[in-house]
């Protein structure tokens, strides 16, 4: 394959110049993945570099697998020998090999976010702290941020600034929770996602021989989406490449949008300071979008001061101007978007999958969903509960995890009395208390149950331990699928869900079977280990994006954060209002505002052919009807790329006047003043087609009445607020005619 001829000049420079440090600034749609793929292929094919000596780091397994497949098309099966994967998967691999040096076994458990929060919740309860103040989400984020900055619990407790922050937030004991959390994880022989980075740093810091081993192994280090790295990730890769200095990072500072996860834009902005001999290459040609979309995106990002200068351009067609659409309410916004999708489909013969609706917050999907359902357009909301987070799936996974690691406290909590076997919550808490007080393992307490419990409870615990010991022996002699099927059956899970003949029970049973199917598929895949342990590691490191299937024929509804890396023919960015986008929470500093602007830039550059921006004059926020102002980002766009027909959005003063002119109308639409003769009617006489008056929603027409339910419902099409479903037992209506 003659891959070089497929590249433009800048891309060739990035592929061919493989020695020394290199920073590739890859603008949106500039062929970043192609460059990274071909650079690795070029190292193997033309420079005879051993694939085992190349470390390539990504943020999703999906990206890693796609790149590996592309590389294999060029160099053949040698590509399978690359050290390529997500930061977490690669560092987990190193820790499984070297973790014994810092006190962890090779089969340590990886806690997901839910496991971590559950443990924190237990610790807060055990320490007697107020769970309303010390909410697990808040505490988890504080601990996670500390770990990503490589702040240990000792440093946390002794840092005056951090302590003052916690005291001012009325949560002075987070450091104590952090200390106990680390202790409990270690005792459970478990690491959370942040630990995979934190402990790798500890390993390299405390064991120079291990660091030197991997410095000598990796002659070339490549990092994708470098703008999304945090301090911990950058420090590890900086250490690994310190000897050979062949580090190549690819990213776009304009798409740095994950500061809330700990991503540090300064890693890419200041990269040159660490490497004076840096080769800086800019990929500025956009292959994705039309000239109007590229021009609009450039005009937005140029308002940021913290950036690497570049000029993105395209040879693509001029394309349609950007459309800005206004509505009087968020419900009307939803109807308008649905109608425009319908029109675009008919006009351009698009599929549902050609469309995406992007929003700043998940809650904005409601009005869009309702409108799409109403006109029969199929859609999918991305970012819901993923398969591996469903309770029944996590139940079986907990059995598998505990079979591998009998010190896993969170798995024990899930399985010890599910299905029910007479071991109550008090017994469980006593097991954990005994283990903590005597500094022994929870499994040792269970194995020695007669010492601590009466005969009835000890018998139940002995039965449980016999069950687990049987699973341990069976799994050592069988592959992951056979073992999992055996565990699922003997644990009682299969029967538990199969005997539940409700729709919910059937769905749970099918999900369990699907998990078993996924295990079978996993072990049937070439070059994969077949143990339960290897399967658990694989699924523990999956990201949200890895589980999404973008090939289905749905309109995609997602937050802008979820949309990063994707592209669609037609994109709607809804809720373009001040305090929503940009978010009110991101207006306290210039850095926060610039991150919001980068987020908007990412949203714009998802569009290939057509871009719509929509906003509402009014929107309910936290139960209160708010009058809205168009986003400042609309004002910042170059008006040469915007449809002239929507002149009201081109300057703020015009919009303010427009809203002022319509104020009375808006108020009458949304805050209806009941007529003087308003008296509630007897709704037993209510019929389809009748005109009615509602105290709040005003006048409407009865569209249909459902009398099949215990509570009779009416669907009413109100003139000014749209369609509403009302329970007639509660509705206060006046029949007009």
Q: Residue 562: pLDDT above 70?
A: yes
What percent of the chain clears pLDDT 70, i.e. is strictly above it? 91
Could you tell me the maximum CA-CA distance found in the chain, to the nearest angstrom? 89
How deeply is 588 buried, as exposed, middle or buried, from its count of CB atoms within 10 A (0-12, 13-18, 19+)?
A: exposed
In order of 64, 528, 532, 571, the CA distances from 518 in angstroms are 20, 13, 12, 33
Q: Residue 267: pLDDT above 60?
A: yes
Residue 615: name the closest of 625, 629, 632 by CA. 629
Give me the pLDDT at residue 542, please: 63
Angle between helices 113-127 and 136-148 (to 10 degrees): 110
Give the neighbor-by-neighbor strand order of the sheet with 733-735. Answer: 722-727, 713-718, 698-706, 691-694, 733-735
Residues 6+ apart with CB under 8 A from 345: 351, 352
Q: Residue 646: pLDDT above 80?
A: no
Whether 225 is catalytic is yes
Record the tokens describing residue 10, joined without a space.
Answer: 């800048």
In order of 90, 95, 481, 548, 559, the CA distances from 523 in angstroms are 20, 23, 7, 21, 34
Question: Cβ distance 582 to 632 under 8 Å?
Answer: yes
Average pLDDT over residues 437-441: 88
Give me the pLDDT at residue 667, please: 41
Give me the pLDDT at residue 707, please: 67
Question: Cβ distance 145 to 231 under 8 Å?
Answer: no
**Token pair 């460059």 in the structure block, residue:** 35
Which of 60, 255, 314, 614 is catalytic? The answer is 255
* Cβ atoms within 10 Å of 469's Cβ, excluding its own: 13
Which sign does the torsion angle of CA 286, 287, 290, 291 carry? positive
SS3 track for 224-263: CCHHHCCHHHHHHHHHHCCCCCCEEEEECHHHCCCHHHCC
Q: Residue 102 gets which letter from DSSP? A: G
Residues 6+ apart with CB under 8 A from 616: 326, 327, 328, 329, 330, 332, 333, 575, 577, 628
Q: Residue 709: pLDDT above 60?
A: no
Q: Residue 528: pLDDT above 90?
A: no
CA dist 428 and 712 (Å) reads 47
Grouping H, G, I as helix, E, B as strand and the rest as coil, residue 631 is coil
Which sign does the torsion angle of CA 338, 343, 346, 347 carry? negative
Q: Residue 24: pLDDT above 90?
A: yes
Whether 206 is catalytic is no
**Residue 222 binned pLDDT confidence (cut-offs 50, 70, 90):** very high
Q: What is the dihedral of CA 681, 687, 691, 697, to 10 degrees?
A: 70
In order of 227, 273, 275, 303, 341, the CA distances from 270 in angstroms are 11, 6, 9, 20, 43
Alpha helices by DSSP H, listed for 275-362, are 291-301, 330-348
- CA 717 from chain centre, in angstroms, equals 37
Give me the pLDDT at residue 161, please: 94
Question: Cβ distance 61 to 542 under 8 Å?
Answer: yes
Average pLDDT over residues 631-650: 75
**Token pair 């021009």 in the structure block, residue:** 295
Whether 227 is catalytic is no
* Cβ atoms within 10 Å of 666's Cβ, excluding its own: 17
Bridge partners of 735, per DSSP, are: 692
Residue 423: name the closest of 392, 465, 383, 451 by CA. 465
Q: Residue 600: pLDDT above 90?
A: yes
- CA 514 from chain centre, in angstroms, equals 23
Q: Residue 660: pLDDT above 50?
A: no
Question: Cβ distance 408 to 190 under 8 Å?
Answer: yes
Record the tokens describing residue 410, joined without a space.
Answer: 């969170």
Bridge partners of 380, per DSSP, are: 556
Whether 606 is catalytic is yes
Q: Which of the pair, 505 or 604, is modelled with greater confidence?
A: 604
Residue 162: name the closest of 153, 123, 230, 181 by CA. 153
Question: How many Cα neighbours within 13 Å face the side chain of 119?
Answer: 29
Give me the pLDDT at residue 666, please: 40
**Residue 657 binned pLDDT confidence (cut-offs 50, 70, 90):** very low
Which of 225, 330, 408, 409 is catalytic? The answer is 225
Angle at 318 between CA 304 and CA 602, to 5 degrees: 35
Record the tokens describing residue 532, joined without a space.
Answer: 């339960």
Give me the pLDDT at residue 622, please: 53
Task: Encode pLDDT of 302-311 as tens digits.
Answer: 999 999 989 9
Average pLDDT over residues 590-599: 93
Lowest mean pLDDT among 467-471, 499-503, 579-583, 720-724: 499-503
Which range is most confident: 107-111, 208-212, 255-259, 539-543? 208-212
Q: What is the mean pLDDT of the chain?
A: 87
Average pLDDT over residues 486-501: 85
Q: Residue 559 gets which letter from DSSP? A: E
Grouping H, G, I as helix, E, B as strand and the rest as coil, residue 555 is strand
Q: Residue 130: pLDDT above 50?
A: yes
């Amino acid at each position: 394959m003659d891959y070089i001829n497929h590249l433009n000049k800048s891309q060739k420079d990035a592929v061919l110049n493989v020695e020394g440090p290199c920073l590739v600034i890859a603008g949106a749609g500039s062929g970043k993945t192609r460059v990274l793929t071909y650079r690795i292929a070029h190292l193997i094919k033309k420079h005879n570099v051993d694939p085992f000596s190349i470390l390539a780091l990504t943020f999703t397994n999906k990206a890693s697998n796609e790149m590996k497949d592309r590389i294999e098309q060029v160099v053949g099966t040698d590509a399978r020998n690359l050290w390529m994967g997500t930061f977490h998967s690669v560092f987990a691999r190193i820790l499984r090999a070297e973790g014994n040096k810092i006190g962890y076994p090779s089969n340590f458990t990886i806690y997901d976010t839910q496991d971590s929060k559950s443990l924190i919740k237990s610790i807060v309860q055990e320490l007697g702290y107020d769970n309303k103040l010390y909410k697990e989400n808040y505490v988890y984020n504080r601990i996670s941020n500390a770990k990503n900055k490589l702040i240990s619990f000792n440093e946390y407790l002794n840092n005056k600034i951090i302590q003052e922050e916690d005291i001012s937030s009325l949560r002075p004991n987070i450091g104590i929770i952090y200390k106990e959390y680390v202790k409990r994880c270690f005792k459970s022989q478990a690491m959370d996602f942040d630990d995979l980075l934190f402990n790798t740093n500890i390993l390299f810091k405390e064991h120079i021989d291990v660091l030197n081993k991997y410095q000598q192994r990796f002659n070339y280090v490549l990092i994708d989406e470098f703008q999304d790295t945090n301090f911990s990730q950058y420090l590890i890769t900086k250490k690994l490449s310190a000897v050979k200095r062949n580090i190549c990072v690819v990213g776009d500072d304009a798409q740095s949008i994950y500061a809330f996860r700990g991503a540090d834009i300064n890693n890419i902005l200041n990269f040159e300071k660490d490497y004076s001999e840096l080769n800086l290459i800019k990929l500025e040609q956009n292959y994705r979008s039309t000239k109007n979309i590229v021009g609009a995106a450039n005009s937005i990002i140029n308002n940021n001061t913290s950036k690497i200068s570049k000029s993105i351009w395209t040879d693509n067609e001029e394309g349609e101007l950007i459309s800005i659409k206004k509505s009087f309410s968020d419900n009307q916004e939803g109807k308008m978007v649905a109608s425009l999708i319908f029109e675009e489909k008919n006009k351009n013969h698009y599929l549902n999958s050609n469309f995406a609706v992007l929003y700043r917050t998940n809650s904005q999907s409601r009005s869009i969903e309702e409108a799409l359902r109403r006109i029969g357009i199929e859609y999918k909301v991305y970012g819901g509960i993923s398969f591996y987070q469903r309770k029944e799936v996590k139940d079986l996974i907990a059995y598998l995890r505990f079979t591998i690691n009998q010190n896993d406290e969170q798995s024990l909590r899930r399985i010890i009395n599910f299905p029910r076997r007479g071991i109550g919550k008090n017994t469980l808490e006593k097991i954990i208390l005994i283990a903590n007080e005597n500094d022994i393992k929870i499994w040792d307490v269970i194995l020695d149950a007669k010492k601590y419990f009466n005969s009835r409870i000890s018998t139940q615990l002995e039965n449980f331990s016999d069950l687990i010991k049987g699973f341990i022996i069976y799994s050592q002699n069988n592959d992951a699928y056979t073992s999992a099927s055996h565990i699922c059956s003997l644990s009682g899970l299969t029967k538990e869900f199969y005997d539940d003949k409700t729709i919910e029970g059937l769905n749970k049973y099918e999900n369990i079977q699907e998990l078993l199917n996924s295990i079978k598929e996993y072990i049937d895949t070439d070059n994969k280990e077949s143990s339960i342990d290897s399967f658990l590691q694989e699924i523990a490191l999956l990201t949200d994006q890895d589980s999404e299937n973008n090939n289905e024929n749905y309109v995609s509804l997602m937050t802008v954060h979820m949309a990063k890396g994707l592209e669609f023919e037609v994109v709607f960015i809804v809720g373009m209002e001040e305090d929503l986008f940009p978010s009110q929470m991101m207006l306290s500093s210039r850095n926060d505002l610039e991150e919001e602007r980068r987020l908007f830039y990412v949203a714009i550059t998802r569009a290939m052919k057509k871009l719509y921006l929509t906003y509402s004059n009014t929107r309910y926020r936290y139960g209160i009807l708010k009058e809205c102002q168009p986003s400042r980002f609309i004002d910042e766009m170059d008006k040469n790329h915007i449809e002239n027909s929507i002149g009201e959005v081109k300057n703020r003063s015009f919009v303010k006047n427009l809203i002022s002119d319509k104020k009375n109308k808006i108020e009458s639409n949304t805050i209806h003043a009941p007529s003087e003769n308003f008296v509630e009617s007897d709704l037993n006489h209510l019929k389809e087609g009748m005109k009615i008056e509602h105290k709040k929603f005003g006048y409407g027409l009865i569209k249909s009445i459902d009398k099949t339910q215990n509570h009779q419902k009416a669907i009413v099409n109100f003139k000014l607020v749209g369609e509403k479903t009302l329970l007639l037992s509660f509705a206060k209506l006046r029949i007009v005619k």
